[in-house]
Structure formats: C-alpha cells, structure tokens
A and B are shown apart, each in its own frame.
Chain A
Amino acid sequence: MRFSDFTPFDIWLLLQGLGVSLGLFLSTSLIGLLIGTSWAVCRFYRVPVLTPVITFIAELLKNSPVLVQLFLVFFGLPGLLHIRITPTTAAMITLSANSAAFVYVIAVSAIESIGRDQIEAARVFGLTRWQVLRHVVAPQAMAFAIGPLTALLVNQLQVTSLISVIGVVDLTKIGNILNLRTLKPFIVWTVVGLLYYLCAKLLAWLGARFENRLRAHAAWRGLICSK
C-alpha cells in the first residue's frame, strides 16, 4: 500500500473531522438560536437603548464576510485584549455571533408577521406582554420561522468549513491534509462534499418534518386567511 492510496482508514479520519464540524455546528447554532431569539424578544418588548444596539450589531455581523469576522477574532482580539484564543474558541465565538445575527433577522420578521389586530385583542383582554408573546405570538412565529431557519442552518453547516483556514481540524481541514498526501483531489473532495451533502440533507429533512408537525397541529390554513 502506498502513501498516496485513499484507504478505508482515511474515511475514518474524515468522519472524525465531520464530528468536529458537526460539534461546532450544533453548539454554535444552539448558542446562536438562544442569543438571536433573546435579541428578538428584546425588540418585541421595545427595550430602550438595547434594541438599537442589538440592531446595529446584527447589521454589522450579517453584512460582513464570516471569514473576515473569523480573522478579526482569531488574529485581532488577542492583540487587542492581550489574551490567547485557540482556533476552536475563535470559531465558536464567530459562528455563534454570526448565527445569532441571522436568527435575529428571521425571528424579528416572524414576530412582525403576526397581525397587530390579534395582539391588540389579546392586550385588550388583559393579557400581559409576556402572555401575548407566549400564547399568541410565539406559536405562530415559530411556524412562520421554521422554514427560513432550516435554510439558515443548512447554510451555517457549510459555513463551518471556513474555520479550517485558522487551523481547526474539521472535515474540510482533514480533506485538505488527505488531498496533500494522496494527491487525489477528485476523490478526496468528492467524499468530503458528499459527507456535507448528506448532513445538509438530513438537516433539511428534519426541518421539513418539524414544520409539517407544527402546521398540522394547528391547521395552518389559518395563517393564510385569518380574516
């Protein structure tokens, strides 16, 4: 066996890389979901000062390349704050913040898609803002947001491949290493691409299932013709 062969063991290496990619993807998506949603809730409550600050940060994050943000965190922050940042930490910070910004945008438009009339009705009947959010806005906003959120997550999964550039040993990085060793780019990158593809497909399938459940549960024809 020559070093330039692509062996079954290499698949195992790639799967380990995939584990790192998925781990970072899942954790940063979860953090992004939590932060983005709480930003949107802040906006729903029209918290003074905080709301414009959040909007500004979200705008910055979603209108600049993730790679640039990654370089800024990995190379820029250590110099500025005199701290050490590992590639994984830099990846965690950047991807979480980036997800948060896009989740925020989706959550805000989902909340704003709920008719004012219903919210006013609930307020008039004495429900607090929190009760309105919980019982009237959130269930409908969720059904509205699940489609765009699935699309976002599928995209974020691909975006994780950027972190290989700063040295995180994820699926793409391992692919890169194998590529240099085997000099068989067509095979290596095909396998790498397929692995991303399968994960993305799985994610989209889960999202679609969840969406169907949300909508079937509440007979979502109601969303389209509420009047």
Chain B
Amino acid sequence: MLKVENVKKAFGPTTVLDGVNLTINPGEVVSILGSSGSGKSTLIRCINGLEKLNGGSITVDDFDVGKPKELAEARKRSATVFQLFNLYPHMTVLGNVTLAPVEVLKKPRAEAEATARALLQSVGLGDRADAYPAQLSGGQRQRVGICRALAMQPRYLLLDEVTSALDPEMTAEVLAILAKLAAEGTTMLFVTHEIEFARQISNRIVFLDKGKLLVDLPTADFFAAEGGMTNPRIAQFLSKMRKD
C-alpha cells in the first residue's frame, strides 16, 4: 500500500501541497487530474523522495520515504516515468534499461539484459536496443523510459505527465502501452492531462487544486453529473479541457 498522509510542501513562501491524503492499493490505477501548478508533479516528486516534505508522511509498503534509512527500500518499490524522459544520453537503450537492475537490484548482467530485451520487444523497440536516446523519436524515448521503470519490477509505477511532451501520434503509442499495463494489473499513479484516457484506465480519479485534494472518487462517480461535477471547480476544469 502506498500511503500519503497529510503531506505539506512549500517552496519558500509558495505552498504547493497543502495537506494531501491519498492511499493506493496494489492493483489500482489512480489518475491525478488538475490544472498546471496544482501540485501534481510535486506530489510525485515527494513520493519518490526527490523533495523533502514540510509536513505529513509518505510510506511505500510501510517504508517511510522521509527516513533516510528507509528511502532506499521505498525507492526499490516504486519506479518513475518522467515527463521529459530523463534518459541517460551516453548510454544505449539497453544500457539505460539495465543500469538500475544491475547496480541497485544486483542482478547478473545477462539476466538484466534478457529482461530488458523482452521488455523492449513488448513495447515494439526490440530492434533499437543498441541505439542511443538521441537517435530515437520522442515516443520511442518515452517507451524506453517506461521499460527502464518496468525493469525494476516496481510494485508502484509513478507516471508524471508522461505524454505531455509528445505529439498526438506519439501520445497514442505510449498510451497504448499504458493501457496494456493497466489491463495486466500494474499498480499505477498516473498524473495526466489526458482526461479521456484517464477515464478509460483508472479505478479512481483524484483532483488536485492549488495543493489541496478536492475529491477522490471512483472513476464513474467522478464523471457523473451528481458526483465530481457538482464541484464547480471540477466542472469548470472538465468543460475547459473538453473544448480543446
């Protein structure tokens, strides 16, 4: 279970997260919606330990992200896919995917490479294992990013606006893979602006606004007229997003 309890985060005078509570059970797909600057990405960065909390706590399978001794164990249980891919440019695709399994999980290189090749195959990049990130398209790079995360066999997959830097065609490539993962029962925390897609794959939708978690509802309820739509802020957000 991934537990976010009363998390507060501020950058200087700016409050970014203001008492956020969230629980994700194994097997769930939870989407976080909200406008830019609402704190979605910061929440992900808090969960994977990139930001220090100003209050509250985050535990991943009972390992406290805020405690230096438990952070390493917590990080082994989750894996992040980044908005701008954040691949290592000096390593091949295979090198990118195998680095952490070999160095952190201490897997034998041959085994890590076999796993990596199988993963790359499954996202349609079986023939690009020896390419460098700069030789790939954005969509291909993000698929590598997903493989790099999956190679850690994470219990929780954290996806931080993974399609925001991609054009519609490449977005479709990446979303198809995520849909497959969701269908296979991968636990995902999915920060996104792809509302329709979030609706298709999520068990629950969470809406963040100005650092506060406005609602946390099952997907059907969130989009129902008598559910999330009763909240004026959410109704406004959804109507604006759908016009685009």
Interface residues of A (CB under 8 A from B): 115, 117-118, 120-127, 131, 135-136, 139-140, 143, 218-227
> How long is the Cα–Cα vector from A115 to B90 in the complex, in angstroms?
12
The answer to whether B84 and A122 touch across the interface, beta carbons within 8 angstroms, is no
Interface residues of B (CB under 8 A from A): 48-50, 72, 75-76, 79-80, 82, 84-91, 99-100, 103-104, 132-135, 148, 152
The answer to whether A123 and B86 touch across the interface, beta carbons within 8 angstroms, is no
For the residues of B in contact with A, the DSSP-based class is loop
Instruction: Chain A residues near B80: list those with CB within 8 A.
Output: 121, 124-125
> How long is the Cα–Cα vector from A219 to B130 in the complex, in angstroms?
11
Instruction: Chain B residues near A223: list those with CB within 8 A.
Output: 89-90
Count A-B contacts at CB 8 Å.
80
A135-B134 contact in complex given A120-B50, A124-B48, C-beta closer than 8 Å: no
Question: With A124-B50, A126-B152, A225-B134 given, can you name 19 additional A-B contacts, CB distance below 8 Å?
Answer: A117-B82, A117-B84, A118-B86, A123-B50, A124-B75, A125-B79, A125-B80, A125-B104, A125-B152, A126-B100, A127-B100, A127-B103, A135-B88, A218-B90, A218-B91, A224-B134, A226-B87, A226-B133, A227-B84
Instruction: For the complex formed, measure the closest distance between the CB of B121 and the CB atoms of chain A, giving whole angstroms.
Output: 21
The answer to whether B89 and A126 touch across the interface, beta carbons within 8 angstroms, is no
> How long is the Cα–Cα vector from A126 to B132 in the complex, in angstroms?
22
Instruction: For the complex formed, measure the closest distance between the CB of B63 and the CB atoms of chain A, giving whole angstroms.
Output: 12
Residue from B49, B72, B134 whose CB has the most chain A CB atoms within 10 Å = B134
The answer to whether B134 and A118 touch across the interface, beta carbons within 8 angstroms, is no
Instruction: For the complex formed, measure the closest distance between the CB of A83 and the CB atoms of chain B, giving whole angstroms.
Output: 46
The answer to whether A122 and B90 touch across the interface, beta carbons within 8 angstroms, is no
